[in-house]
Amino acid sequence: MYKNFDLENIKFSVDLGAKFLIAKQQLNGSYPGHDQGAASFWGIPLALMLSGYHFEAQKLLDWIQKNALSLNGDIGEISKNSRGYNYPYEKAWLIEGAHRFGEFNISYSGMNYLRRFWDQETGGFYSVIDPDLIKLESNLKMDLWVTSGCARAALYMGELDMAIGAARWMENLMKQQPNYPEQLYTVFTKSKGLLINKNDFTDDIEDKFKFGTNFRYVLNKDSQVDQSFFHPGIAGGFLALLYLATRDIRWLTLSKKYMLLAETASDFLYSTLRAGKTGWAAALLFSISKEEKYFKIAYKIADNIIKLQSGNGSWIDPNKISDMHSINLTAEMVIWLNQIHRYIKPRY
């Protein structure tokens, strides 16, 4: 069934990437660029832990506890004018990593802070730079990827009210899609619902992700330019995890629906590093459903990611922002390749 698939190549790539991360760690446990906040290290604790480098993960978490955990629970706090709309998303990954490592002093403080971004009415998480901005405004944006990342952290911590609420928000988002699976619109407000009118596709002052026209708002499955191909994966993967937690088939069905776009997406989208989350979700769905199409998606993405790895084990930021971003990008690729290998190898 699975001839000509080299899973050991995935494991080798993970090990090479993890060794790059180890080499970059400073004596006090931190990483270069930590003064720029959680954006520089949000993926590293989990990447080290999943790769078996528990001592190094502990050093980093100890440093975070002593130097990067604010009294309000914010992790890697920076000035408001330096924050992007994904600010809560970065915290979510550090909360999950700390919790899975048993560093509850970090995870519970962080979750108390993250909960302030959650809207109980809709179930989504606001994409804002500060929870104090959330009043009674109805035009604040909620992004699919930000809500998915925050919901994943909530699920790992057993905060099922937030996790299930976010899943319901995703269900509502899918119901409002006008042209799915050809396109996936990804931003919602209480006042307008799903944003599908180009007049609403504006760059907010805190938007640090100006990668291309309408990058934030819509993913086209046949795109030949860089777009947000992480969306099917981060939503679908979270929903698959929620299914495992609740055994509610509703969430598995919705997970597969979010991944439907990926089944016929362009080869260009598959060739980008943004596909990592979608590869993870496909591997997870394969482990649940045993459907071969998910194995093929996961392996194809893993193979493409490996081809983009540098000889020193790192992955280079496609936007060449800074070396700091490449360190965290490497951590993220280590996470996704590790998870793809984990979910497909026992069933290979």
Q: What pLDDT, in 10s, does the model give residues 77-119?
A: 999 999 999 999 999 999 999 999 999 999 999 999 999 999 9
Dihedral of CA atoms 22, 24, 30, 33 in degrees, nearest 10, equals: -150
Per-residue pLDDT at 324 exceeds 80: no
Q: Could you give the strand order of the β-sheet that contains 142-143, starting from the edge strand earlier in sequence?
A: 142-143, 187-189, 193-194
d(CA 5, CA 14): 16
pLDDT band at 211 (very low <50, low <70, confident <90, very high): low
Q: What pLDDT, in 10s, does the model give residues 161-206?
A: 999 999 999 999 999 999 999 999 999 999 999 999 999 998 654 5
Q: What pLDDT, in 10s, does the model give residues 278-306?
A: 999 999 999 999 999 999 999 999 999 99
What tokens does 55 get?
A: 């001592």
Per-residue pLDDT at 325 exceeds 80: no
Q: Strand, coil or helix: what is 150?
A: helix
For residue 301, tell me if it sits in a domain.
no
In the chain, how many domains are there?
Answer: 1
Cβ atoms within 10 Å, residue 348 = 12
User: pLDDT over 70 for what percent of the chain?
Assistant: 93
The structure tokens 């909620």 sit at 142
pTM of the predicted structure, to 2 decimals: 0.95
For residue 208, tell me if it sits in a domain.
yes
Average pLDDT, the chain: 94
For residue 116, tell me if it sits in a domain.
yes
More confidently predicted of 138 and 115: 115
Phi, psi (rounded to 5 degrees) for 125? -110, 135
The kind and range of the H/E element at 104 are helix 104-114
CATH of the domain at 165: 1.50.10.10
Under 8 Å between Cβ of 8 and 340: no
For residue 73, tell me if it sits in a domain.
yes
Under 8 Å between Cβ of 340 and 10: yes
For residue 11, tell me if it sits in a domain.
no
pLDDT value of residue 317: 73
DSSP characters for 40-80? GTTTHHHHHHHTT-HHHHHHHHHHHHHHTB-TTS-BS---G
Domain of residue 114, residue span: 52-295
For residue 183, tell me if it sits in a domain.
yes
For residue 341, tell me if it sits in a domain.
no
Maximum C-alpha span of the chain: 56
Under 8 Å between Cβ of 314 and 323: no
Q: What pLDDT, in 10s, does the model give residues 184-195?
A: 999 999 999 999
Strands (DSSP E) along the chain, which ranges? 142-143, 183-185, 187-189, 193-194, 218-220
d(CA 88, CA 114): 6
For residue 326, tell me if it sits in a domain.
no
What tokens does 197 get?
A: 């009118």
